[in-house]
Amino acid sequence: MKVAIAILTVMALAGWSPTTRAAERVSLRNGFALRCDHHALVDGRVRLYLSAGEDNYIEFAPQQIATFEKVADPPPPPAQPVQANAMRGAKLTTADLAEMLARAGQQHNLDVDLLASVVKEESAGNARAVSRAGAEGLMQLMPGTAAQLGVHDGFQPDQNVRGGSAYLDALLTRYNDNLALALAAYNAGPDAVAKYHGIPPYHETRVYVARVIHEFNRRVVAREAQTRRPLAAAQASAANQK
């Protein structure tokens, strides 16, 4: 697994240099598809630029890419009224959410406890959560980001978790496994991290990073303690039999 504990971070993402400014649909070999503004090859990695600039991108190994297809620029997502009960949507069962996170963690080689920590901070497990800024679902994806990640319905839990996990995976790769920077970019955007050359001085972002890392550490410590219990019991039993 990529992330172990504390501010140990997860993956590595590099990229491409611009080859075209036309919008593109990118199909991955795992069946996932997303949309980007343009792409480039940089240091042997494929960099997918999510906007016309050079700062907002995600990266993949060339062998992960199946095809590129030029497409018309998508229209801006229509404003969707938020129902009064949208923030009170039904939560998934613990087992349902755990299964989704386990699948996403395995696909992206991410620690499931990291994903669970992000979901807890983002939405508290509410698949119908909507932020003041319009971010949607379990991992609070903005509609534009969700569309670029191939997520057609941000309130569909499995789609949302797959898209959010892919985005976090890409950010961890982009920031050379620096978990704090990846989380800051997840919360405030890569442009803000680039502007301030680190975690932006936003109170919300700094609190967000600290809370997710604290929760992740708590979960890892609890998991390791749970793993040690059977071993300790076996050792105690063996000692009693001597």
Average pLDDT over residues 197-222: 95
User: Residue 68: how many CA atoms within 13 Å on its side-chain side?
Assistant: 17
Q: Which of 122, 204, 215, 224 is catalytic?
A: 122
Q: How far apart are CA 10 and CA 32, in angstroms?
A: 21
Domain with CATH 2.30.30 in the chain: 15-70
Strands (DSSP E) contained in 19-95 are 24-28, 33-36, 38-42, 45-49, 57-60, 65-70
Q: What is the pLDDT of residue 1?
A: 52
86-219, CATH topology level: Lysozyme (1.10.530)
Is 163 in contact with 174 (CB distance < 8 Å)? Answer: no
15-70, CATH topology level: SH3 type barrels. (2.30.30)
- The string of pLDDT tens digits covering residues 18-44 is 333 457 888 878 766 777 888 899 888
Is 94 in contact with 102 (CB distance < 8 Å)? Answer: no
Average pLDDT over residues 192-217: 95
Percent of the chain at pLDDT exceeding 70: 76
Residue 122 falls in the annotated catalytic set: yes
- Buried residues in 126-156 as b, exposed as e (16+ CB within 10 A): bbbbbeeebbbbbbbbbbebbbbbbbeebbb
Is 92 in contact with 101 (CB distance < 8 Å)? Answer: no
Supply the pTM of this predicted model.
0.64
Domain with CATH 1.10.530.10 in the chain: 86-219
- The string of pLDDT tens digits covering residues 167-197 is 999 999 999 989 999 999 999 999 999 999 9
